[in-house]
């Protein structure tokens, strides 16, 4: 726990400075730093891009942290006066004490969560190993050939490797999800309108939805793991809340909406399933074009390209494809390219599993066949949310129609609602596993709740009950989870579990495969899914750093996750 706290201080300090430094890219000399949560997330975005770029040249470890520290010191020297002014302004703000109390309370509880071990299945399937590869080698050509799930190139794995401190602790910390959750929750809890004795607005309901998302045991168990689902969905809810907040404050600076769209691009690099949110860019694009602010458009486009380009480059290096698992986008003729049949099989497996169909053979099952199976897998809460979302979509369409007839459409909120609905539908018709997109089910209900008259009464009683009730339940769920599941480690956090393994000699090297099932964990490195799969691949050079490729005789053979179909034992 103590080690994680020191690690968090390093992450917060570096991202705070990077976030302030990155302001000049978008806003020039205006020094529009924004709230502390925006500064920290802006810095995390910069750190994510930096970690990915660094991984393309060298392993992400001590050297990356030293260079990052030098950059932070340089920014502090250049921006010492505006930075000091920003800090003084934060301390003098009216809500500083409330912010500190909530930050200490929530941060302390989540620090407790972070000290525990992780038992998330996908962590031991490939998350931990993917991070280990970034720590040991950076990016390796054709890594997806060794284990297809390494091709799930999440930018979050590079960020995890940057702040894992393996280079000094001889173990890899996995507390970053808890820290990010703390940033989201402290923002949500400390900025509610009820603190100003006002009724709840759309942004408030989205903030409450963010807290509700982090109440579930499934999400809480994921916080001490290095997976990308929690960060992605938390970021989507955060962006939606910020978007509504800007509208409610009648923010005249369109670039602030544009920056949130850059955050959406960042979310896409963490997990492709959040791609529907990119439609938010329609509003700032139209407004900036209307005002002929071409310089600002260039800045936003450049920022978006800078954020996504390292992710795309790493995709090509790891799998040979621009986007994995989409073999149709085949633009590069490289010798380490993964077999298209394996990429397609992986995509079908994800979709079938997400729909509750446990067999890949049922990938092409029609809606009438897979929907009842999927629906039965939902718990009562998600069944309720699913029904509410259907009502919300119908209600929003009707409301939009009448607003259009009266020429009273609020286009900013309309774009947010439409984007939320499209994001939900994209998730639902692709791989609707609640772990992949449970937060998307909260977007539309949160937006629509504000339309209920009960939250617009002059007495504000309903607002107080809703806000304080959610806060109380959230804190109860956190403490209950800590007491039930987390064995606190006061100094060093608990390490990854050791998984049963077998040693296999391949190409003169020792490679590890699972002794049972398909999970291998972090410590057995390097690993592959099965020994049989190794028979179809080879090293591109003399060692692991030069990457992997499929053997010539297997180039035109059909593949599954476990290896070539031909002669499968």
Compute CA 455 distance to the chain's CA centroid, rounded to the nearest angstrom: 32
Question: Per-residue pLDDT for 216 more than 90?
Answer: no
Question: Per-residue pLDDT for 56 more than 90?
Answer: yes
Which residues are within 8 A (CB) of 566 and not within 5 positions of it... i.e. 6 or more apart? 554, 557, 558
pLDDT in tens, 105-134: 999 999 988 888 888 889 999 999 999 999
DSSP helix/strand/coil, 557: coil
pLDDT score for 569: 47
Q: How far apart are CA 441 and CA 421, in angstroms?
A: 9
pLDDT score for 567: 55
The single-letter DSSP state of residue 513 is: E
Sign of the Cα pseudo-torsion (418, 422, 428, 434, in order): negative
Mean pLDDT of the chain: 90
Cis peptide leading into residue 568 (ω within 30°): no
What's the whole-number mean pLDDT along residues 45-64?
96
Question: Per-residue pLDDT for 30 more than 70?
Answer: no
pTM: 0.94
**Confidence grade of residue 57 (pLDDT, cut at 50, 70, 90):** very high
Nearest to 534 by CA among 500, 509, 556: 509
What's the whole-number mean pLDDT along residues 400-407?
75
User: Higher confidence at residue 559 or residue 403?
Assistant: 559
Bridge partners of 557, per DSSP, are: none
**Confidence grade of residue 454 (pLDDT, cut at 50, 70, 90):** very low
Q: Are 147 and 528 spatial neighbours (Cβ–Cβ below 8 Å)?
A: yes
pLDDT in tens, 176-213: 999 999 999 999 999 998 888 888 889 999 999 999 99
Paired tokens of 266: 């960042």
Question: Per-residue pLDDT for 470 more than 50?
Answer: yes
Question: Per-residue pLDDT for 359 more than 90?
Answer: no
Paired tokens of 188: 């949500």
Paired tokens of 74: 């340089």
Question: Per-residue pLDDT for 455 more than 90?
Answer: no
pLDDT score for 562: 75
């Amino acid at each position: 726990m103590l080690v994680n706290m020191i690690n968090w201080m390093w992450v917060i300090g570096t991202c705070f400075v990077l976030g302030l430094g990155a302001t000049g890219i978008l806003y020039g000399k205006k020094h529009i730093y924004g709230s502390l949560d925006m500064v920290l997330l802006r810095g995390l975005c910069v750190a994510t891009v930096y970690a990915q770029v660094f991984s393309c040249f060298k392993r992400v470890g001590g050297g990356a942290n030293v260079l990052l520290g030098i950059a932070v010191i340089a920014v502090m020297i250049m921006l010492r006066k505006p930075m000091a002014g920003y800090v003084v302004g934060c301390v003098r703000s009216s809500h500083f004490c409330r912010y500190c109390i909530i930050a200490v309370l929530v941060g302390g509880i989540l620090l407790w969560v972070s000290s525990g071990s992780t038992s998330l299945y996908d962590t031991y399937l490939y998350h931990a190993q993917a991070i280990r590869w970034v720590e040991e080698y950076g990016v390796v050509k054709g890594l997806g050939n060794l284990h297809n799930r390494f091709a799930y190139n999440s930018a979050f794995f590079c960020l995890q490797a940057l702040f894992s401190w393996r280079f000094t602790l001889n173990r890899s910390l996995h507390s970053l999800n808890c820290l990010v959750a703390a940033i989201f929750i402290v923002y949500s809890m400390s900025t509610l309108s009820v603190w100003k004795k006002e009724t709840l607005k759309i942004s408030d309901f989205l903030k409450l939805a963010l807290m509700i998302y982090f109440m579930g045991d499934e999400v809480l168990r994921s916080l001490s793991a290095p997976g990308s689902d929690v960060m992605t969905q938390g970021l989507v809810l955060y962006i939606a809340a910020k978007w509504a907040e800007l509208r409610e404050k009648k923010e005249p600076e369109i670039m602030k909406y544009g920056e949130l769209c850059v955050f959406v691009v960042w979310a896409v690099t963490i997990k492709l399933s959040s791609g529907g949110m990119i439609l938010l860019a329609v509003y700032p694009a139209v407004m900036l074009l209307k005002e002929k602010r071409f310089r600002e458009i260039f800045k936003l486009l450049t920022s978006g390209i800078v954020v996504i380009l390292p992710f795309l480059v790493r995709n090509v290096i790891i799998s040979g494809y621009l986007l994995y698992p989409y073999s149709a986008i085949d633009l590069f003729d490289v010798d380490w390219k993964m077999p298209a049949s394996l990429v397609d099989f992986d995509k079908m497996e994800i979709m079938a599993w997400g729909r509750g169909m446990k067999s890949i053979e049922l990938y092409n099952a029609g809606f009438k066949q897979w929907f009842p199976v999927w629906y039965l897998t939902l718990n009562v809460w998600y069944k309720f949310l699913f029904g509410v979302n259907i009502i919300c979509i119908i209600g929003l369409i009707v409301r939009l129609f009448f607003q259009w007839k009266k020429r009273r459409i609020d286009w900013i909120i309309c774009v947010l609602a439409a984007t939320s609905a499209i994001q939900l539908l994209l998730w639902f018709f692709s791989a609707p596993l609640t772990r992949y997109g449970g937060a998307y089910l909260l977007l539309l209900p949160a937006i629509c709740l504000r339309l209920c008259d009960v939250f617009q009464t002059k007495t504000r009683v309903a607002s107080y009950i809703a806000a304080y009730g959610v806060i109380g339940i959230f804190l109860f769920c956190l403490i209950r989870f800590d007491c039930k599941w987390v064995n606190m480690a006061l100094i060093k956090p608990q390490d990854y579990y050791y998984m049963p393994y077998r040693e296999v000699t391949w190409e003169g090297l020792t490679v590890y495969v699972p002794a049972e099932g398909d999970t291998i964990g972090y410590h057995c490195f390097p690993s592959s899914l099965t020994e049989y799969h190794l028979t179809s691949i080879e090293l591109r050079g003399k060692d692991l750093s030069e990457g992997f490729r499929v053997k010539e005789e297997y180039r035109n053979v059909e593949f599954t996750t476990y290896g070539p179909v031909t002669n499968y034992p």
